[in-house]
Amino acid sequence: MKHLEKIIVGNWKMNGSVKSLAVMIEALKSVNMNRERVILCPPFTLLGAASVANVAFGAQDVGAYDSGAYTGEISAEMIAETGAKYAIVGHSERRRNYFETNEIISHKALAAHRAGLIPIICVGEACTGDECAADAQMPAAVEKQVKESVPEAITNFIIAYEPVWSVGTDNIPPAADIEKAHGHIYNVLAGMGKHAPVIYGGSVNATNSLAIMSMKGVDGVLVGRASLLPEEFIPIIQSGK
Ligand code: PEP
């Protein structure tokens, strides 16, 4: 069954400029959509400029501490001051390239929560489709990440399920695997006394977004590359209605 009001997150990663953001903001103005459900996540330096967008926006990461001697870090409070409402934490690129552990991610999610931001907590297995099926690593890996990355104190958050091997490639898992993973995450959350939207991320584009958002248990999508250009991002937004 296709649910209404899907959440669409655009993760620009380390891409974009003042100019390309202005182009996106202008293009989004005339799109008929639920503006609170579309969340643009440009680099930190563009958050101020994103505040004039008529959609929600957020950061791609957040410091784990509130303030102090943490050179180069950006606190959740600073992000909230721009008008941002969300912060992605635990993206697989941060887990892999910056050695972020579940513990660090949990601290970051808590810092976001303290500042009134809604954390978008990313989880996902590193094994490939076949390996996952063979050793059932996928549910175990995802379960551990959910249990250890979602802080006990938070109730308002989003889980982004992103199989690591699908991010930045053009490979997406079969529908049955996505539905199984989402169902598993809901069950793990329920065991923790929690409920949250679970969105899918990994090579979402304008061609596959409708099919993905029609899958059971998929509450929306986290889009990387295809969120950079209005001509690719807008059809994805429209397929989530
Ligand atoms: C992402 O950035 O989280 C992502 C899923 O990227 P892409 O859509 O490019 O695979």
Q: What is the pLDDT of residues 80-131, one digit of tens each?
A: 999 999 999 999 999 999 999 999 999 999 999 999 999 999 999 887 656 6
Task: Give dist(CA 149, CA 94) in Å, integer.
Answer: 13
Tens of pLDDT, residues 6-61? 999 999 999 999 999 999 999 999 998 888 999 999 999 999 999 999 999 999 99
Q: How far does the centroid of ligand 1 lie from the alpha carbon of residue 156, in Å?
A: 23
Query: From CA 183, how far away is CA 218, in angstroms rounded?
Result: 9
Give the pLDDT confidence of 148-204 residue by residue, as tens digits.
999 999 999 999 999 988 888 988 989 998 999 999 999 999 999 999 999 999 999
Name the residue with the closest Cα to ligand 1, atom 4: 224
Phi, psi of 204 (to 5 degrees): -75, 135
Please tell me whether the overall predicted TM-score, pTM, comes out greater than 0.85 for this model.
yes
For 65-110, the DSSP string reads SSSSS-TT---HHHHHHTT--EEEE--HHHHHHS---HHHHHHHHH
120: nearest Cα among 203, 11, 193: 11
Atom of ligand 1 nearest to the CA of 92: 3
